[in-house]
Each structure stands twice: as structure tokens, then as C-alpha cells.
Chain A
Amino acid sequence: MIDKKDSYPKFAVVGHPNKGKSSIVSALAHDDTVQIGNTPGTTQVKRGFPLKVDGKIIYELFDTPGFQRARRILAWLQEHKPVSADKRADTIREFIYNFRDDDRFRDEIELLEPIMNGAGIIYVVDASKPYGAEYEIEMEILRWTGQPSMAILNLIGDEDYREDWSRALGQYFRLVRTFNPIKAKFKNHIELLESIAQLKEDWTDSIKDAIEILKKFHNQKIDRTVGIIKDTTIKSLSYVYRHKIKSKSATKEEYKLASNRYRRELIKYEKKLEKDILDIWKHRNVDVIDTAPIINDIGLFSKESESIFGLSQKELILTGASAGAISGAGIDLALGGGTFFLGSLFGGVVGGVGAMVGFDNLYNIKLLGQKIGKRELIVGPMKSHNFPYILLGRALYYASTLANRSHAIRDSLKLDDREFFIERVVDSSMRKKLERVHSIIREQKEPKEELLVEYQEVILESFKKLI
């Protein structure tokens, strides 16, 4: 009798050494701790990756070592001839039983064991390299297990031999699908799972449940990312640094110190945001290469960052003008149009001119309290019209890069896409909504909840365009 707690579907990812088995498991399990190497035998023992929801396993993937002595095993199996098809699985069991402690077949035992315990087979080949007859031995052994199976064509290199492979694999496996774990996005994961669901009728419901769970899980990650971007942007834009000074007027050094501390705090907020995003997308081992001055510390306030992530001067003026016109239109409406819509015109001009404030002039530094004796330098809030877009652009770029990054990638994360344009992801109507909140913060007021909800929706829309 099958143990109830073990009745969930299991899949063993098997194949020749170095064909990307661990990469596929790593991508599907969203686990970047799986050791992936170009040295054959990197995976030495099978390792289970269960998809658990509140502790309940929905399915389990097994990463396994590659075949090492497939010919010897097939020879052993064939010695038991004549074996009818219904008895072949028993012959495999007998092989496992006889050679469990034999070091020569350690890898094969590791990969055959989960299959003989009921796991479906996901056979992985590198379809960027030519097909070879030697694979037929492995496929034949897998056929002997009698378990439902499918093949995955992984394109590791840049050549494409999928046609040849499909012809051969089609004779051994029910399904043949292409899946590149390095390039795969969430959509591809779901498509692969949908294929896996077809392997065995008993597993279909569980896999479909898993797909729904993973979709929800993915949407939660998106919502959390967007929420954090919104909160960090609002916090950064409203931030005011107070620096106490001793003498009657502030020295140049004190101005510089106050300004540096203000900047440092904003950088700290950005770093915290980056860490939170790494956590949300479960990239635990990513080594980020700060390619100056894209996303590094100095980058936030650099001209280059402005040109990559900020709005162009033209867009900035248009955004400022339209936001100003909206405020002006409010006055026009309040006065029943008696202003001949001069309010909109005036608002537009003021907004447009305001938006032209140069990037060198990011924030105000004021000296307060000269009369009462408690003198302090007040730095902030951010007055640059472009800075909010730079912040948002950088956050969206960083978050989307991580969201799109497969967990199978082991290279360092290089943030050097100079072709990122905020205008591409935030159109003019979206910018108007953002600008409403930015202008309120510039006036050191607190935006209303409904405006913040709208703000978050705009970020969500832009983020979805990037992933």
C-alpha cells in the first residue's frame, strides 16, 4: 500500500553528466544554492527539492548524478533475457539490490532509486550538441523502469540540433520539450509544469494545484517588490536631514558634511531596498558587480545615472507642465471657468519651469534657528523633479533584472544595461499620476492614501512591462 504522505508526484531529473540537470532543478526550485559546475560529477548524491505549501508537499523534484557506466548496467540487465516488459522494472530493482554497495554504480543507483520509488523521469539532453548513439543506452535503461517519462532539450551552446534529438527522443519518451534553464522566465516554468502534468493522469491535479500556487507566489513577489519600491521612493523623497551647527553661520565644511550625510542616508535606503528585493526573489547567492556608475553608491547622484534612469529634459518639462496644469485646472474648476482657463496655463508654465531645475541643484539646504540660538542645517526634501524618476528607474531596473534572473545562473549579476529608459516603462499618463505625489512631497506634505494607491499601481504597471 502506498503511504498517504508519499502520494504526491515525484520527478527525477536524469541524464548524461553535464547536460544541465542541476540547472533545470535550480531554475524550477528557485534555488541558487544548487552546485552547478562544468566538472562532470558535480552532483554526487540525489537531492530532493519539494514544493511545499504550509509544510504539505505538492510535488518533489530530484536532482541526480549523471550516468557513468550505463553500458555495464544495460549489459547486466540484458543478461536476464528473456524478460517480458512487465518484469523489466523488477530487474532494475534487482540491480539496485545487488549493487547498492558497489562503488562503481553509485551514481546509477542514486539516479535509479527515486525512479523505482515512483518518480517520473525528466531526461535532460544538450540539444546544442549533436545526437549520439551512446545516449540510447541510457534511454533504454530508463525505458526498463516503466515510469512515465519526458525529455527536455536544453540548449547550452549556440548550435541547434533539436530536430535530430527530437526524432530520437520521440521513440523513447512520451513528451519532448525545449527548456533553457538559464534563459527561462516564469512563464516558461509554468509551461514546463503544464507539460509535466500530462505525464500521468494521477499527477495532473497536483501539478495543476502547484501551478496555481506558484502563480500566486509569483504575484505575491511582484506585489511585495512594488510595495517596497513605493515605500522607499516616498521615504527617500520626503527625507530631511538636520545637522546641528555650533557657530552663528555654517561653514563650507558643515554644508558639505550635512549634504554628504543626507546623500548617504538616501544611499542607505537604496541599499536596503536592493537587499529586500534579493530576499523577495530568493537570490541568496548572487554576487552583484557594481559597474560604476550604474547602480553603485556614487551612481545614485551621478550625471550618468540621471541620463540612464531619469527623464529627458523634454519629458521632464512636459511632465512638470502637465502636472502644473492639472493643479491650475483645479483652480479653474473651482472658479467655474471664470479664469478663462488661465489657471491651467499658468500652472503649466510654472510646473514646466520648475521641472527645469538643474540636476546640480537637487535639494535645498537651509540654515534655521539663527534667532533662537539652536542653529541647524536642514537638508531636503528632494526638490529635483527628475530625481524621483531616477530613484524609480534604478529600483525598477534592479528589481526587474533580479525577477528575470534564473536561479540556474551562477555568473555575477552585472548591472550595466545603459539602454534602460524610464520613458519606455512609464508613459506620459503614468508620469502625471506619479508627479501628483512627487509635487505633494516636495511641498513637505503627506500624500493622501488614494494617491499613494494610484502611485503603487503605476509602479506595478511599469514593473510588469519589464518582467
Chain B
Amino acid sequence: MHSKNSIVSIKSYLDLSQLLSEYRGSHEDNRSFALKNKKLEKAPIKLLLKWLDKNYFRIDGELNSKRYLDYLLSLSSLLGLIFFILGFLVGLGLLSYDGKLPVNVIYYLFIAMFIPLFSMSLSAISIFSSDRVANLISLLFPLHWIEKALSYLPFKKKLKGLKFNLHFKISKLLFIERLQLFSLIFSIGLLISLLIMVIATDIAFGWSTTLQVSAESFHELIRYIGIFWAKIIPSAIPSLDLVEISHYFRLGEKLDISMVHNADKLGAWWKFLAMTTLVYAIGFRLIFWLLTKKYLNRELEESILSLKGVDKILREFNTPYVSTQAPQKEKHLEIVEAKKEVVIKKREAKYQTILGWNFSKDEIILANDAKDIDGADNIWAIGGSNSFNKDLEIVKNSSGVVLLYVKSWEPPTMDFIDILEMLIENSKVSRVEILPLGTIGRYYKNEQEHIDIWRRKIESVDSQKVWIINHDR
């Protein structure tokens, strides 16, 4: 099933089809494979087959091709034998000579030349015709019926449960190719039987027809038939004399007297018959068989490209693999909700210290006004462009209940937490109330999402001194 010149065989076609139904690879893998085989860049089929070789191990279980080709081999061996025997028996039948009437060469020519030419013409039509016509033509070939009959034999069971779709054109060409092979075997059987009969018996050949054909015309036809070997083996072309003396009629009980007189010459037809078989039934068939094989291989190459999934792989072979993602996975951040409630709705009536994290002093006074908070003795801006040491100084000087304004949209950084922890550690500070403020543009109104961020962070501080005020006044 795999000729020397072809790159795709039935096996590789079926294996690739099976592999593609199970595995098609990722773009990254396929592109990397194509880059490693850059020499085959312009030979997609070769590249595909190499990809198949590399990925054979991915096919689960038995290869479909093995079962199918085993079946085909068993069937073909049996059919080959049958056709050889048939050819031999047909030869024996055609050449059986009872000593009374000569063997009519026209019968033999019909089997050795006319039928092969007719069958090859039908095969050629079938190759180039549509699926429906090809199906009809196949009914004319005995092989179709023999195969059908043989399908009831036990070895057909080998195909049970096998799932694959051989493209119709391939099935058709496979049938035609095998048809040529078996016809060739048949013809070899025919030729062997002719040679054995010629050696083992004394056959008198003649020709007889109902049609009004003169010996000259018949000789002319014979010359046309023998045109291919006339110059190489002239003795294999019967002479006009031989044609004339071997013409007989079945009317009457006795043969023509001149025929009886020239009985020793009548056997000379065998060379012509042998050459006709060799050239038409064997030579032409052999050429046609090889052509069909070549055509089948070409079809396999075309069909392999239309297998489901091949377009994806070829596209991936040829398309640069672009990756924009991180190679390592991100470790997911676990957010553990603390149980302590830190949010209060109501704030203190009076604060001893008012601090504004990342606010200027003016902004704090403005916020006090907007929130109806009476001015405390100590109002300080912390964070922002203050140095850390300056903030430490402010924290040290803070006392009593501290109101700490923060920008609600700015999540608490560790810098803030450091300052807060120092406030907590300050024994003069009895309580810290954090009041997140929205933007002035939104009249300090907060978004719940921001409050939640602050709440989670303050919960993690785990202090009895710190609270978040969540109210929109």
C-alpha cells in the first residue's frame, strides 16, 4: 500500500486520521515542531507525516490501519488465489480441444484482449466520474460481487467496531487499483494455462464467425492487434496463408480438406495468442495498475490535507506562536475575614486630637466644617509630604480620643499602619476613630467598596482602641 515514490500510504492516512481524532496538539507544540523541521517548511505533507511519526505513541489501543490492512491482506490473498485459479480454468476451458473442431481464437481474443480493454476503459471512466456514476460502474465488475460475498466470511469480523471514514474517492481508487491487480493475476493464470496447454497438448487453432469477414480483413485486424510486437517477434503475427487455412465453418460434419492438410500449421496461432495475452491482458493491465496506484497515491496526498483537524495543525505550523501570558501561575491571595467588628455608625461628640492622613491642615479644617466637628486643640496633618520622623513627633503629642481622617479611596498602606500602631501604643491616646472621607467632588460621600477595604485592614490590626466611622452626614 506504500509505493516507493509516494509519501502517503493508506496506513499513514488512516493513522493520521486516528491520531487527529484523539490529539491535535497545542499551537505552541505544533509551531515548535515546525520550527525544528524548517527544511520541510514547503512540504506540508512530509511535515504532517513527520508529526505523525513523533506522536504515534499518543494513539490509544490498536491502530485502525493495522486491523484494516490485515483484513485487506487476507481478502486480497484469497482473491488473488481465486482470480489466478479462475484465469487458469478459463484458459483451460477456452483451449480445450476435442480433436474435431479447432479452438476458435476469437473466443480467446475476446477474453485476452477485448474484456481487458473494456474493463480498463470502464475503470478509467469510473476514476474520473462522479461518486454516483462510479458506484453504478462498480456494479459491473465481478470483484464488487465477489467482495460482497466474501464479506460474510469470518475474517470480516476483524473490522468489527472499527470506526474510520475513508474518503469516497480513496475507497473508489482502492477498489479500482485492486481490480487491476486481480485482473492482472487472472491474466497471468490465463497465460500460464495457454503455455501449459500448448506444451502438453496438440491444439489446432482456427477462426470462425457468423459475420461476413474475409480472411484478408481478419488478417488486417490481426496485424493491427499485433502492431506492438510485429517488429520484435514477426513470427507471432499469423500470415495471411495461416489465416486463410484456419478459417472454418461449423456447417457440415467435416472440416475443410485444406484445413486438414495443413493441420500441422494451425498450432502456429499460439504465439499470437500468447503475445496478445502478454501485451493486452498483462502489459496494458500492468501499466494501468501502476497508473491507478499513482493516482491513488496522489489522491491520498490530496485527501490527507482535507482530514478533519489537518487545517488547524497546518495553520499552527505556519503561524508564529505569540504568547503574552505569564509563564508562572500566580499564588492566590487568601483573604481571611476577621471576626471583630470595627465599624461604628456614631462618632464621639468631641475629639482631643484631629489628624488627617495625607490631608493638609486646611483640608482638615474644611472637613471638620462639613462634618460638623468642633475644632479640637490639636489638629495636625500627617502622611503626605511629612517626613516619617515628623509624624512620629505628632503621634507622641496626640492624646485622648483621636479622630483620624483618611481618604477613603486610598487603601491603607503599611506606612499608615505603622503610624496607626504607634498611636495605639501611645498610652495617652484612649481611642482612635478613623473617618474615611470621599472626594470633595462627591461631598465626602464614600463608596461602600472603599469602606470595606478599610474595614478589612483595620480588622487585621486587631486593636480595641481603633474604630472606623461609617456614616454619611
Contacts and interface: CB of A to CB of B under 8 A. Distances in A.
A133 B324 contact: no
B413 A68 contact: yes
Nearest to B412: A40
Contacts of B409: 126, 129, 157
Interface in B422-473: 439-442, 449, 452-453, 456-457
Contact of B453 (A16, A33, A40, A55): A40
Interface in A242-294: 282
Contacts of A72: 388, 415
B214 to A, nearest CB: 54
B322 A31 contact: no
B321 interface: yes
A71 interface: yes
B100 interface: no
Interface string A58-76: 0000000011111110010
A52 B418 contact: no
Nearest to B325: A31
Interface residues of B, number: 46
Contact of A41 (B321, B333, B410, B441): B333
A68 B329 CA distance: 24
Given A30-B325, A133-B384, A35 B407 contact: no
With most chain A CB atoms within 10 A of its CB, the pick from B320, B331, B387 is: B320
Nearest to A105: B414
Contact of A55 (B32, B328, B388, B410): B32
Given A40-B411, A41-B333, A132-B358, A33 B384 contact: no
Given A18-B411, A129-B409, A136-B385, A39 B456 contact: yes
B384 A134 contact: yes
Interface stretch (A42-50, A331-339, A424-432, A433-441): A42-50
A34 interface: yes
Q: Do most interface residues of chain A lie in helix, strand or loop, or is the interface mixed? A: loop
B396 to A, nearest CB: 17
Nearest to B389: A75
Contacts of A45: 331
Contacts of B452: 38
Contact of A49 (B31, B325, B388, B410): B325
Interface in B327-386: 327-333, 335, 358, 360, 383-386
Nearest to B333: A42
B385 A47 contact: no
Contacts of B35: 54
Contacts of A71: 383, 386-388, 415
Contacts of A67: 413
B171 interface: no
B441 A53 contact: no
B130 interface: no
A132 to B, nearest CB: 5
A47 B453 contact: no
Contacts of B328: 47
A75 B386 CA distance: 11
Contacts of A213: 320, 322
B278 to A, nearest CB: 46
A48 B323 CA distance: 12
Nearest to B411: A40
A159 B31 contact: no
B200 interface: no
Interface size class of A (residues with CB under 8 A): 35 or more
A52 B409 CA distance: 36
Nearest to B335: A39
A50 B322 CA distance: 10
A170 interface: no
B325 A54 contact: no
Given A132-B410, A133-B385, A159-B439, A40 B324 contact: no
B306 interface: no
A47 B325 contact: no
A29 interface: yes
Interface in B391-419: 407, 409-415, 418
Contact of A70 (B326, B386, B410, B415): B415
A157 B385 CA distance: 25
Nearest to B329: A33
Contacts of A130: 439-441
B415 A69 contact: yes
B325 A29 contact: yes
A393 interface: no
A304 B27 CA distance: 39
Given A39-B456, A40-B457, A17 B411 contact: yes
Interface string A183-217: 00000000000000000000000000000011011
Nearest to A71: B388
A121 B128 CA distance: 67
A51 interface: yes
A34 B330 contact: yes
Contact of B323 (A41, A44, A50): A50
B235 interface: no
A29 B324 contact: yes
Contact of A159 (B323, B324, B441): B441
Contacts of A107: 414
A107 B411 CA distance: 15
Contacts of A137: 385
B439 A129 contact: yes
A36 to B, nearest CB: 10
B426 to A, nearest CB: 19
B201 interface: no
A149 B283 CA distance: 82
B42 to A, nearest CB: 18
A402 to B, nearest CB: 16
A447 interface: no
Contacts of B320: 53-54, 213, 216
A134 B382 CA distance: 10
Contacts of B32: 54-55
A416 to B, nearest CB: 23
A38 B454 CA distance: 11
Given A52-B321, A69-B413, A72-B415, 20 more contacts: A16-B410, A17-B413, A18-B453, A28-B324, A33-B325, A34-B326, A38-B453, A39-B411, A41-B333, A47-B330, A48-B326, A51-B322, A51-B324, A55-B32, A129-B407, A132-B407, A134-B358, A134-B385, A159-B441, A282-B325
Interface of B: 31-32, 35, 319-333, 335, 358, 360, 383-389, 407, 409-415, 418, 439-442, 449, 452-453, 456-457
12 contacts: A31-B326, A34-B326, A38-B411, A39-B456, A40-B457, A41-B333, A48-B326, A51-B324, A52-B321, A52-B324, A68-B413, A157-B409
